[in-house]
Amino acid sequence: MDLSEINYLTQCVNVIAQSDLDKLGVPQWSLMAFFCIALAGFGYYCLQYGVVKSNAMITVGVVALLASGLLIAVTQNPSLELYVFYAFTGLATAGGVAFLTARQPVYAALGFATAILSGTGVLFMESAHFVAAATMIVYAGATIIIFLFVLMFAQQGDLTTYDVKLNNPAIAAIIGAILLGTIVLCVQAVPESDAIAGNAATARPFSQSGEAEPSSTARLGRSMFTEYLFMVELAGTLLLVATIGSIAVAQRSLEAE
């Protein structure tokens, strides 16, 4: 490790240490506790009884989402870009909830596809164009294959016991609520500031973006193939190993029959 590398790391540590993460007051803690308890109860109810059961419930959910979006559009009067951004985030979260609470595996896979594709829309709004396109391509292929698997393995119509009876829904809801509450609390404690434009302390030289928004695919490639070249090689090796491994695992099952 040469001298500039050490300097870069110490600068990063200094930037992290200067934030006001430790200054959490009592009202914030009590708010987080209330938030956690409410969220855990609601999540346990949703998990145990399955919100996405029938078409009527799905329709009610979609109507509620659209109505809340319309309400925000009327009252808050956001710009169109912001409105599309929040519509994508809301749709992705709703897809995730549908994925969790659906009993039919096909509905769950549909919810997963909704969540991932809406998340891709969020990435587009965040000017990460190449990442969004790659995510869409990879997950579109993966989702189609998952659909094939679901249709192959899971019987349509009749639900199996392992689809209906979940594994410790109460404990999982409590853990998830505590995790989410802690993240929200910690993010709230960070003071609001402007974007760190071209900060040399947090960016390697070839990774800095010239513009205000990091949206250039050419600069992304330059960053990836200069400063992260070792990581790219490692990812290629990982792909090779995964290919060999999946072939080996699938072949062993063929021999067993």
Partner 1 sequence: MTQETTHLVYFGSAIFTLGMIGFLTRRSMILMFLSLELMLAGVSINLVAFSKQHHNYQGQVLAIIILTVAACEAAIALALIVSLSRRKSTLDIQAWSELNEVPMRSAEVPVVMVDQVRHYPKLTPAGLEPSLTPSPVELGYENWNELGENTDTPMEKTQNA
Residues 177-216 that bind partner 1 (CB under 8 A): 179-180, 183-184, 187, 190, 192-199, 202-204, 207-209, 212-214
Residues 138-167 that bind partner 1 (CB under 8 A): 138-139, 142, 145-146, 149-150, 153-154, 160-163, 165-167
By CB under 8 A, residue 84 contacts partner 1: no
Query: Residue with structure tokens 């109505």?
Result: 67
- End-to-end Cα separation, the chain, in angstroms: 53
Task: Pick one of 84, 89, 114, 140: the residue that binds partner 1 (CB under 8 A).
Answer: 89
Query: Residue with structure tokens 């200067």?
Result: 18
Give yes or no for a contact between 32 and 188, defined as CB atoms under 8 angstroms apart. no
CB atoms within 10 A of CB 87: 19
User: What is the nearest approach in angstroms of partner 1 to the Cβ of residue 142?
Assistant: 5
Stretch that binds partner 1, among 22-30, 61-69, 70-78, 219-227 (CB under 8 A): 219-227
Task: Pick one of 32, 43, 50, 121: the residue that binds partner 1 (CB under 8 A).
Answer: 43
Closest CA to 203 of 228, 171, 185: 228
Query: Residue with structure tokens 């430790």?
Result: 22
Binding letters toward partner 1, positions 2-41, x by CB under 8 A: ----------------------------------------
By CB under 8 A, residue 131 contacts partner 1: yes
User: What is the nearest approach in angstroms of partner 1 to the Cβ of residue 27?
Assistant: 19
Give yes or no for a contact between 150 and 124, defined as CB atoms under 8 angstroms apart. no
DSSP at 161: H
By CB under 8 A, residue 87 contacts partner 1: no
User: What is the nearest approach in angstroms of partner 1 to the Cβ of residue 30?
Assistant: 20
By CB under 8 A, residue 115 contacts partner 1: yes
Spatial distance between the Cα atoms of 90 and 113, rounded to a whole number of angstroms: 14
| Sign of the alpha-carbon dihedral angle for 44, 49, 53, 54 | negative
By CB under 8 A, residue 91 contacts partner 1: no
Tokens of 88: 């994508």
Spatial distance between the Cα atoms of 78 and 84, rounded to a whole number of angstroms: 10
Q: Measured from the CB atom, is 29 or 149 closer to partner 1?
A: 149
By CB under 8 A, residue 103 contacts partner 1: no
Query: Residue with structure tokens 């689809």?
Result: 163
Give yes or no for a contact between 11 and 3, defined as CB atoms under 8 angstroms apart. no
Q: Measured from the CB atom, is 32 or 122 closer to partner 1?
A: 122
